[in-house]
Amino acid sequence: MSPETNKPDKYLLYQSSVQNPVYEVNFMRRVYRKTRGRSPLLLREDFCGTAVLACEWVRMVRGGRAVGVDLDENTLQWAAENNIARMGSKAERLELACCDVLTAENYESDIVAAFNFSYYVFKEREILLSYFRKVHETLNSTGIFFLDLYGGPDAQVIQEESREVDEEGLRFSYVWDQARYNPVTGETVCHIHFDLPGGNRIERAFSYDWRLWNLPELKDLLREAGFEKIDV
């Protein structure tokens, strides 16, 4: 519960509705082992938010280390007090960096992960390219960059979609609100709302002002940034 609002904490609701760190850690390790023939140890989680993926990495990967990068101090504070505080001595293998991913230190990494489309915050081609170049620089010679993509015709429609979530003692509806889309620039504004039992709503718990990049554009940019092999 959030003491200020007496409603469930919006970060907990977010984690329960849109994140699946165990699946993601398993997926990245499987792909890395299959293609590189060894296990990855070093993860950089870009746009880490509550760093739930970085925490799971350190929990699941023996000897693994992780760095979570995010520019929002309050979110990182929440991560430290809630997710990292529960990790005991494993927390020693985890670091949080409060900075822009565009200027973050080049931590040596086997894997860089950027999930839930966060790089869509970069609306200009040159800026997204400089981010991809930065990721390429920070990866060691056998490194892999994992990122996900949201798009297609449905993403261009102004609409709300909701889904029931019943997890870890929390029951609520997750609402994805595609509030604005500009077909000329590809810019979109989306919100996440949470509908709680009893008719309460956490309106605009999270809002995103993004550009919808498409797959061919992203493949071109990744190639230009130095990535030799791009698997979809």
Ligand X SMILES: C[S@@+](CC[C@H](N)C(=O)[O-])C[C@H]1O[C@@H](n2cnc3c(N)ncnc32)[C@H](O)[C@@H]1O
Positions in the binding site for ligand X (CB under 6 A): 18-19, 47-49, 69-72, 75, 100-102, 115-116, 118, 121
CB of 141 to ligand X, least distance (A): 25
CB of 74 to ligand X, least distance (A): 9
Smaller CB separation from ligand X, 69 or 202:
69
Smaller CB separation from ligand X, 101 or 111:
101
3-class SS shares of the chain: helix, strand, coil, % to 5: 35, 30, 30
- The residue among 93, 44, 91, 86 whose CA lies nearest residue 64 is 93
Smaller CB separation from ligand X, 21 or 64:
21
Smaller CB separation from ligand X, 130 or 173:
130
Identity of residue 162? S
Where does residue 80 fall: left (phi above 0), alpha (psi -120 to 50 degrees), or beta otherwise? alpha
CB of 135 to ligand X, least distance (A): 12
Instruction: Find tokens 């200027």 and name the residue.
Output: 103
Smaller CB separation from ligand X, 103 or 142:
103
User: Which residue has the closest beta carbon to ligand X?
Assistant: 49
Give CA–CA dist 201/3, Å, rounded: 16
CB of 101 to ligand X, least distance (A): 4
Smaller CB separation from ligand X, 121 or 179:
121
CB of 82 to ligand X, least distance (A): 14
> Does residue 71 contact residue 100 with C-beta atoms inside 8 Å?
yes
For residue 51, what are the contacts with CB-CB under 8 A and spacing of at least 6? 45, 66, 68, 70, 76, 79, 83, 84, 94, 96
Q: What are 108's two structure tokens?
A: 């040596």
Q: What are 95's two structure tokens?
A: 């670091």
CB of 23 to ligand X, least distance (A): 12
